Structure 1
Amino acid sequence: NEILTEENNRLKSILYSNHGYQESELDSLPYVPKFKFTTATVIKNSYSAYNNYLTIDKGTKDSIDVDFGVISSKGVVGIIDNVSKNYARVLSVLNTKSRINAELKKTNHFGSLKWDGKSPEVVQLIDIPKQAEIKIGDTIVTGGLSTIFPKGIPIGSVQSFNLDETG
């Protein structure tokens, strides 16, 4: 355990010095050994179109591939849908074609995160079971039911909700 702790501290210090991460940003992400993380810079971003994309400065030469998840210190950004040698295009969560497995952190009820193309400040969590007790302020995180994102990456919080009585 002592060796692992030392290695962990060494790696964190490299991340802090090379990429300007704050310890709170790294420590807030869940530790998931089967996922690898690398940093990238967003070189193009749209958020006011109906179907938004980002471009990052990493590609196949950096071992980046289609269907890799993209996160920031604030949470989920999107999923890589196209990659070249030096760049990758990210299907933003602010894209009407995007669907991401998500859950209510407190109750572990699963649903799908989607965007309706309206406000870039709001996404929807749909298909939550009717029996789920939802409260304003509840945290929404990735559900971990896909190979793209590990469980527990922050997405946002419930600002409002309506129950669909039709089904």
Structure 2
Amino acid sequence: MQQIFNFISRNSDRILFLLLLGISLTLTIQFHSYHRSKLISSANVISGGVYKEIHDAQEYLNLRKENDDLALENAMLRSLLFQVKDSSFMSKLDSIKGVKPSDIVVTKVIKNSYNVYENYLTINAGTKQGIKPDMGVINSLGIIGIIDDTSENYATVASILNKKSRINAKIKKSDHFGSLVWDGKSTGFVQLIDLPRLAAIRKGDTIVTGGQSVIFPENINIGTIDKIYIDKQTNYYTLNIKLFNDMTNLGHVYILKNKGNEEMTKLENQRKKDE
């Protein structure tokens, strides 16, 4: 208490000045409409700025939920588009036939490797959501990989950036197909091998999934032709494909429950036994 009295005593002149200044400003604002309007305007500017910062902070904190909601909505809309046939605007999209809305699971990549020869992703969905090995994984830009292993709430995905990966793919405009592999060099490129020399190709042509895959439906985007090589030993083309996806930056993905996979695989295995 004594320290408070000492402080007031030492600063009595300043305190008196501030008190008189406050009284004079109050009287001026109270009895002059111009000054009063200026004060209100300034207060609105300050409070508006504070409210904006609070609102921006709240929006930032809600971004995760909004992103999840948008991903779910996007999946629903895409699943509806997959069912549209001969629509005037479907020519701008890759038509994925045979995919029902109930056969699409929206999930998120929570771990992603891309700097080794055998890269895998981890997603936050598993057997509880109906995920099984050998299901295709895509996003809005194209293919991501294939489900490798599952637990109740998580699954690992063999990325297309995996030297063991081998996916049937084709040239969109001509239907000539080959095998999509990765040479382990660049995260932005994969290779289409065993493409016959009869195929008419040029740089920039679009590469999509082929009709012989039991994992992916036909015509899902992969990338575009960047370079063309001729394998002198086999006389086939080898194409360097620039991916549509940035495989180092993945968020929400879609799991495709292709119901025909098990039946086709069983049939093929039976044929191999018969041989």
TM-score interval for Structure 1 and Structure 2 normalised by the shorter chain: 0.7 to 0.9
Q: Cα–Cα, structure 1 residues 96 and 18, in superposed 2: closer, same or farther, change >3 Å?
A: closer
Partner residue of 2:97?
32
Match of 1:11 in 2: none
Equivalent residue for 1:12? none
Is residue 2:113 matched to residue 1:46?
Answer: yes
Q: Contact 2:75–2:104 (CA<8 Å) still a contact in 1?
A: no
CA distance in 2, matches of 1:23, 1:66: 23
Aligned residue among 8, 14, 19 for 2:72? 19
Partner of 2:165: 98
Residue in structure 2 matched with residue 82 of structure 1 by the alignment: 149
CA contact (8 A) 2:75 2:106 kept: no
Q: Report percent identity of matched pairs.
A: 50
How many residues get paired? 153
Shift in alpha-carbon separation, 1:104–1:19, aligned structure 2, 3 A? same
Q: 1:24–1:164: structure 2 CA closer, same or farther, 3 Å change rule?
A: farther
**Where do 5+ consecutive residues of structure 2 fail to align?**
1-67, 82-92, 235-275
**In 2: Cα distance, 1:46 partner to 1:92 partner:** 9
Question: Following the alignment from structure 1 to structure 2, what is the Cα–Cα distance between the partners of residues 161 and 23?
Answer: 38
Residues 59 and 65 in structure 1, CA contact (< 8 A), matched pair in contact too = yes
Letter in 1 for 2:120: Y
The answer for the alignment partner of 1:119 in structure 2 is 186
Say which is worse superposed, 139-148 or 20-29, in terms of deviation.
20-29
Q: Tell me the C-alpha RMSD between the 2 structures.
A: 2.2
Task: Calculate the TM-score normalised by the size of structure 2.
Answer: 0.52
Unaligned runs of 5+ in 1: 1-14
Following TM superposition, the consecutive aligned residue runs of length 4 or more in structure 1 with deviations greater than 6 angstroms are 22-26
Q: Supply the AA of the counterpart residue of 1:21.
A: N
Identify the residue that residue 141 of structure 1 maps to in structure 2.
Answer: 208
* TM-score, L = length of structure 1: 0.84
Name which one, 1 or 2, has greater alpha-carbon Rg.
Answer: 2
Question: What residue is the counterpart of 1:63 in the other structure?
Answer: 130
